[in-house]
Structure 1
Amino acid sequence: MLAHAVDLRPRMSTPITDNTVGNLATLFTVEMDKDITGLRELTAKLRGERDEFLENFVKTKMVSETAVAALMRTFEEQGALVHNEEVELYRCSSWLRLNMYEADFGWGKPIWLSLVNMPYKNTMILINRRGSDGVEAWLTLQEDHMVALDQDEELLHFASLNSSVVW
């Protein structure tokens, strides 16, 4: 299963402003079929499942129930998946539109972002690279999966390993 984070703020019937404090996000899950072999198939399935989730969740459940009750039920379902040992769960999130390098908490804008502690296995987070069009992918995978990823010629054609941040 793939669990993907979704920002609910702009999808609410009354959108929440960008300067409101706090998060309003949830996850949707996609069961990955072994017959999906290409990136286009995977992307199409993810988009279709996301659109269906948003239609059902935001436009139906968040209207018919309180938002808190609907979110809590989703979190309970996700928790059951996390603790189900028969399910191999992967999580992903994109922080590409969050403008993290624009944040200034009084000591200047950051020169580099990192995730100090990602305690979850099988997690991928995408973050903009400062000052470029590039993207950093922060991954926590089992060692054998990471080795396979590091040797994938198609991926390496588009990506490079930053050995200074590998632990």
Structure 2
Amino acid sequence: MQPDCNDNGAEFLEASIDTTLSDFLQNSSHEDLDQFFPHGLVHFNSNYGDDDLQSDQVTPLEVQINHFECGGVAVAVSLSHKIADGSSLVHFINDWANMTRRKDHEFSIDDPFFFPFQYMNLNPSRYIISRPDDCLITTRFMFPGSKINELKLKVKAMTAESGQPITNPTRVEVLTWLLYKCAMAAATKNNSGSFKPTGAVQIANLRGLMMEQLPEKSIGNLIMPMEILINKESEMNPESFISGFKKQKMQFKSLRNIETVFGVLHSDLEEQLRKVDDVYIFTSLCGYHAYEIDFGWGEPIKVALAGVARKNTFILTDAPNKDGIEVLMCLGEHDLAIVQSDPELLAFGYF
């Protein structure tokens, strides 16, 4: 199976950076990552735009190797989301690094399994409501592993007290609930204390969820948004929020294959989300072993997503120490100002 594309191939560039890697990491902001990418084709710009892959103006894959004065290196990769998802990208970079590092040519990789375009054409930007006057800020928040464990215990206690116990919440589930709760509290405060119905969307990796499971290294947009509609504040409790997503994930496990998933579940999503004023989107790239990528220089000291994120998005990734979770969040400036001082959020991590 060949992806439907313009056959432009991949572009590979090298660049020199007139500073040291340590200075950059200590003194840079999120926006400074953009300079590492060729031609401004940063992750989100190329992935979520309305680019036509048949156009000669689009190169689906761009790579730039950036050399610092100290000898440090930053590898920047931009892949169109109309070709593949985050799991595909991490596996691609990991296999590329393994092949580069293994000089004995004994390393082999399985042939990638591509999915036809009609099953891959999922553009998450359609679920994101942006307004011309939105002033967005992207920042990072770190949850140490010990604090995540404390939050899991708190959620277990809260749900047990409610009579709807959740005995096995995952790290991502409890953090998604907390982040959503704090973001909604900020939005409500900025709306003169008036609660507005909203939607929460969590992106699920379908590869291991269906009855006919797919290879881990399958290439494509093998993801599906799961959504919850919150119509009143009382529905923001963890037992409703986390259980809602767990039930939807169980639905996937009852479906036979990828064709069934997209045919049954995708049709109603947009209609449901039209009923709310705002949508908050959560994506987890945890457990994808990004911090094990090694081109022969050793494992990376920093793995980051660059580019301008969309409004009300949260992307969860493994922390550099492989213990905690780092969150890239993009909110309106007024909401973010409240979130950054939320004592409930700050009890479990730091900006």
> Under TM normalisation by the shorter chain, which class is it?
0.7 to 0.9
Q: Deviations over 1:80-100 (max 9, x none)?
A: 566x48431000022211111
Query: Which has the greater radius of gyration?
Result: 2
**2:318–2:325: 8 Å Cα contact kept in structure 1?**
yes
- Counterparts of 1:113 and 1:81, CA distance in 2: 35
Aligned pairs, how many?
152
How much has 1:108 moved relative to structure 2? 5.4
Partner residue of 2:258 out of 67, 77, 99: 67
Which amino acid is 1:27 matched to?
Answer: P
Partner residue of 1:54 out of 212, 232, 249: 249
TM-score, with length taken from structure 1? 0.74
How much has 1:20 moved relative to structure 2? 3.2
Moved more, 112-121 or 132-141: 112-121
**1:81–1:87: 8 Å Cα contact kept in structure 2?**
no
Q: 1:86 and 1:11, CA in 2 relative to 1: closer, same or farther beyond 3 A? A: closer
Q: Does 1:153 align with 2:343?
A: yes
Secondary structure of 2:218's aligned partner: coil
How much has 1:9 moved relative to structure 2? 1.2
> Matched residues, percent identical?
22
Gaps of 5+ in 1: 162-167
How much has 1:78 moved relative to structure 2? 4.2
- Counterparts of 1:145 and 1:72, CA distance in 2: 36
What corresponds to 1:123 in structure 2? Answer: 313
Q: 1:92 and 1:79, CA in 2 relative to 1: closer, same or farther beyond 3 A? A: same
**2:313–2:330: 8 Å Cα contact kept in structure 1?**
yes
**2:205–2:223: 8 Å Cα contact kept in structure 1?**
yes
Secondary structure of 1:49's aligned partner: helix
How much has 1:47 moved relative to structure 2? 3.1
What corresponds to 1:164 in structure 2? Answer: none
Equivalent runs, 1:1-167 vs 2, <5 Å: 1-32=199-230, 33-36=232-235, 41-42=237-238, 44-59=239-254, 62-63=255-256, 67-68=258-259, 70-71=261-262, 74-75=265-266, 77-79=268-270, 84=274, 86-104=276-294, 109-161=299-351
Which amino acid is 1:67 matched to?
Answer: I
- Counterparts of 1:90 and 1:9, CA distance in 2: 23
Secondary structure of 1:11's aligned partner: coil
How much has 1:57 moved relative to structure 2? 4.2
- Counterparts of 1:13 and 1:116, CA distance in 2: 35
Q: 1:107 and 1:76, CA in 2 relative to 1: closer, same or farther beyond 3 A? A: farther
**2:209–2:252: 8 Å Cα contact kept in structure 1?**
no
Aligned-residue Cα RMSD (Å) equals 2.8
- Counterparts of 2:311 and 2:275, CA distance in 1: 13
- Counterparts of 1:126 and 1:81, CA distance in 2: 25
How much has 1:134 moved relative to structure 2? 2.0
**1:81–1:89: 8 Å Cα contact kept in structure 2?**
no
Which amino acid is 2:233 matched to?
Answer: K
TM-score, with length taken from structure 2? 0.38
How much has 1:107 moved relative to structure 2? 6.4
How much has 1:73 moved relative to structure 2? 6.4
- Counterparts of 2:233 and 2:291, CA distance in 1: 38
Gaps of 5+ in 2: 1-198
Moved more, 152-161 or 20-29: 20-29
- Counterparts of 2:295 and 2:265, CA distance in 1: 33
